[in-house]
């Protein structure tokens, strides 16, 4: 019995990184985990800069926790992980805010003023 999970996470900070890199975390398997609870564990115990959307229903409804798991887009909360497993996580689309936090599609367009501000800030974004 292996009592840990190995998680490879695709990290990207679009403000500074030209391309993404993979970071690996080992999470002890003291209680049962889903992909979402693993992310909570990593954020709380290893890396407060980890980007992922925290406001999720936790029961497979709201689609807020969508991530790519081993190359397939899945709901993180509804995906159980077993002890000893090794998984790769990435963003669910290409519109990455940071790491696994993306702009989920189908929502309203951004207000014009935000676009204006981005143009003003120029190089900073």
Partner 1 sequence: MAGYRTVNTEVLVIGGGGAAVRAAIAADDGGARVAILVKGQIAHSGLTAMACPSYQAAGAFEEPEDTPDIAFADVTKEGRYLGDENLIRVLVEEATERALEMEKYGVKLTHGEDGRIMQVMHPGQSYARNLVIRGCGYGMMVGLRRELLRRPNIDSFEDFVATRLLKDGDRIAGTMALNLRTGEMVAFRARAVIMATGGYEEIMEFTDTEPGASGDGTALALHIGANMIDLEMMLFYPTCLVWPDEVKGTLVQYEGLLGPRYIAGKMVNGEGNEFLPDTGERYVLPVRDTMMKAMFKEIDEGRGGPNGGVFIDIRESPRTTEEVFELLHTLDSLPYTELRDLGVDVTKDMIEVKPGTHFCLGGIRINERTETNVPGFFAAGEVAGNVHGANRTSGNALAETQVFGARAGEFAAEYARNNPDPAFDKAAADAEVARVQGFMEPRENPIRSTDLRKRLQRLMQENMSHRRTGAGMTLALETIRRWRAEELPRVQAVNSTPYARELQDTLEIANMLDVSEAVIVAGLMRTESRGHHFREDYPELDPNWLQHTIVREEPDGQLAQETAPVIRLQD
Choosing from 64, 68, 85, 88, the residue that interacts with partner 1 (CB under 8 A) is 64
Contact string (CB under 8 A) for partner 1, positions 33-52, x = contact: xx--x-----xx---xxxxx
**CA angle (61, 63, 94) in 5-degree steps:** 170
> What string of H, E and C letters represents the secondary structure of 42-56?
HHHHCCCCCCCCCCC
With beta carbons less than 8 A apart as the criterion, state whether 101 and 50 touch: no
Whole-number minimum distance, CB 101 to partner 1, in Å?
5
Interface with partner 1, residue 87, by CB under 8 A: no
22/45 Cα distance (integer angstroms) = 18
Which stretch in 1-9, 19-27, 85-93, 95-103 sits in contact with partner 1 by CB under 8 A? 95-103
Q: In what order do the strands lie in the sheet with 86-90?
A: 21-28, 4-11, 86-90, 66-69, 72-75
Is residue 11 at the binding interface for partner 1, with CB under 8 A as the rule? no
**Only segment of 7-15, 18-26, 84-92 that touches partner 1 (CB under 8 A):** 7-15
What is the rounded CA–CA span in Å between residue 20 and residue 104?
Answer: 19
Positions touching partner 1 (CB under 8 A) are 13-15, 31-34, 37, 43-44, 48-64, 77-78, 80, 97-99, 101, 103-104, 106-114, 117, 125
């Amino acid at each position: 019995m292996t009592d840990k999970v190995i998680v490879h996470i695709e990290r990207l900070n679009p403000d500074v990184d030209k391309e993404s890199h993979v970071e690996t975390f080992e999470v002890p398997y003291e209680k049962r985990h889903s992909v979402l609870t693993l992310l909570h564990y990593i954020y709380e115990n290893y890396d407060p800069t980890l980007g992922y959307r925290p406001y999720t229903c936790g029961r497979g409804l709201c689609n807020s926790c969508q991530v790519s798991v081993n190359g397939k887009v899945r709901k993180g909360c509804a995906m159980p992980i077993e002890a000893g497993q090794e998984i790769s996580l990435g963003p669910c689309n290409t519109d990455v805010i940071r790491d696994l936090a993306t702009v989920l599609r189908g929502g309203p367009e951004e207000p014009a003023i935000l676009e204006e501000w981005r143009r003003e800030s120029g190089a900073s974004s």
